[in-house]
Structure 1
């Protein structure tokens, strides 16, 4: 069995690549990073280290690389032979990946099954990729191709290792895939197939991602620089729990998760954030502030829901304030947000960008 994975970064190699390898796939990583692609082709393997005491060490073999900027013929051949195509490139890059995949789908052998899955930190990312491919070649090329959406969760921090290919990951991972949109009967082990993906997408988004944002934005205001450093401060942990207790109301009222289930999930997530063998830079965790303050993202969507339904939302409102004050001039989105606020004011920014109405705007403004 053969897989093509777009995005040879740490998540691609340490998470998706490992699961595919464990399922017996030969993996071709497609990327523009010449150094990593050359190393993959030179070594044909890399090592995944589990970040915990006496953590496991796993050799991932049977891998190769294709430079998508230079090796068009090799990429066409790999796509033609693939049984599964996955991505971990960032949702904004999917339209570019679509242009790379689309021309080669019709060249595949008749009857050969294929699943294409976008493993991105975004809601229904495979739908985005599918639409972009359809815009290139139409839907007639989709015979025997499944486009299941998925939700992925594994903390893979920025890191520098002696071997450029080796990667450190946390012990926990979750990969959930839409069962109904999967093509064929051969499913992946270590993956949870579900009939309705949205509960898992939003549980992860409004627990793991909202939680990470809370640590980054509040921790930075207290002078911390890393997740593990911030999580040693009880004040940060209390704020984090207050935020996640609020998002729990959204999750339990909209889906079948019980209060007890979500409390256990929160405890697990906080334990992951406290992992002393795995930390991350707060600037990296908090980057992309425009996206994170979007109306359907991790902070604003549950905040608006709680406000409209008369629930307490004080911690989420405070989180907005900390996000507005986040100081990372290396983040282009931070720079853009600061320019908007400097020119037109915070209220204008939150009204236009986050789609907040007057009453919530006044609540947030009172906290600044």
Structure 2
């Protein structure tokens, strides 16, 4: 049986990537620091993915085992694996890099000729390449040459809402997911024969998919959360069912879509349908997607390459009007959550520097850019 390693046995690792690999007849080894989850996987040898949407279904995931990330036997597993995937968060890639490097060193030492492909399934652009650079830090010249010859690092974009949720059956492994998912993987990044994994879309134009997701799902998700938080809603479903919020969110995604259509040549009708599909995902009553969870870390979300500023800048580059994206940024600047450290810092910056300089510093927008003036003008009369 083909063998795969999934770093990260959390909800996304189990409910999305690990499940697809198992369904593609891989024996999946989950690598995680949570010993309770590791032990439970080895005890049960299966778990259930609960797909909750208009129609509900269940998938039993088998052919699985687990190791602690610090287990020395993980290097042996890497020697046997054809594919490694991650779902640990971008900031954790540097921490698992030495572990993966140890496995690559052992493959090199043993002269293993079969190819290994490593895909970082994170919400970060070119995450696999980031992981590669972290791994290289631990390799000698001969091992680096082996990696360049035998190990592929295809980048990808991933999309599936897997909210924190507990199934009331006592099994900590079972996980709730929505029915929709996308896993777009860079075809040219693979070494050797392309794997056949149902649910994996191999593409020659990954950046278009990455920005489509960022400008549509991530933009809409964030704005639904911030606008909903300001009106006291608890879940994304409650927020998007507010007609005024829905109109703003749909308007913002339409504005960002104008940039995408012009930049990548997307079919306008198909992109409109994609926006409607995203809006319907937000309305899923089963997911209980918490507004506070989605809204957290506003400083990161206001970064120049993230889900609010980049769609706005891109849309304007192609001459689009952006009143809803501007309004959405005002909602972020109005967000106050004392349990979110970035929200506290954002408020402190606004009190010290004012709106214009705060946004300029966080988003690196040029002082001459009329985006700043538009945000300041709209902020002074902002109301949801």
TM-based fold match above 0.5: yes
Please identify, of 94-103 and 199-208, the stretch whose mean Cα deviation from structure 2 is larger: 94-103
Counterpart in the other structure of 1:131: 133
Deviation at 1:41, TM superposition (A): 1.5
The corresponding residue for 2:11 is 10
* Deviating more after overlay: 353-362 vs 326-335: 326-335
For 1:344, the equivalent position in structure 2 comes to 353
| Corresponding residue for residue 365 of structure 1 | 376
Q: Which residue in 1 is equivalent to 2:224?
A: 215
Per the alignment, residue 247 of structure 2 pairs with 238
Which SS does the other structure have where 2:188 is aligned?
coil
Q: TM-score, normalised by structure 1?
A: 0.95
Q: Deviations over 1:131-179 (max 9, x none)?
A: 1112221632312111100111111111122311000100111101111
Query: Alpha-carbon deviation of 1:347?
Result: 2.1
Partner SS, residue 199 of structure 1: helix
Asked if the contact 2:50–2:58 (Cα under 8 Å) also holds between the matched residues in 1, the reply is: yes
Deviates more, 1:130-139 or 1:262-271: 130-139
Contact conserved, 2:51 with 2:177, CA < 8 A, in 1? yes
| Alpha-carbon distance between aligned partners in 2 of 1:341 and 1:67, rounded to the nearest angstrom | 43
Per mean C-alpha deviation after superposition, the further-off stretch among 330-339 and 297-306 is 330-339
Residue of structure 2 equivalent to 1:103: 102
CA separation in 1, counterparts of 2:317 and 2:59?
Answer: 48
Residue by residue, what CA displacement relative to the aligned partner does 1:1-20 show, whole Å, maximum 9, x if unpaired? 11111111100000001100
TM-score by length of 2: 0.92
For the 8 Å contact 2:261–2:267, the answer to whether it is kept is yes
Contact preservation (8 Å) 2:24, 2:196: no
* Corresponding residue for residue 382 of structure 2: none
**1:342, CA displacement in angstroms?**
3.1
Q: Specify the alignment match of 2:75 in structure 1.
A: 76
Q: Which residue of 2 aligns with 1:91?
A: 90
Give per-residue Cα distances to partners, 1:171-216, cap 9 Å, x unaligned: 1111011111112223322211011200001001110000101100
Structure 1: runs of 5 or more not aligned: none
How many Å apart are 1:314 and its aligned residue? 1.1
State the distance in 2 between where 1:18 and 1:116 align.
17
User: Of 118, 121, 129, which aligns to 2:120?
Assistant: 118
SS at match of 2:288: coil
User: Shift of the alpha carbon at 1:22?
Assistant: 0.7
Distance 1:360 1:196 in 2: 30
The answer to whether residue 195 in structure 2 is matched with residue 195 in structure 1 is no
2:68 paired residue number: 67
Distance in structure 2 (CA, Å) of the matches to 1:367 and 1:54? 41
State the secondary structure of the residue aligned to 1:345. Answer: helix
Contact 2:183–2:200, Cα closer than 8 Å, also in 1: yes
| Cα separation, 1, equivalents of 2:338 and 2:307 | 22
Aligned residue for 2:363, secondary structure, equals coil
Gaps of 5+ in 2: 380-384
Of 137, 140, 143, the match for 2:145: 140
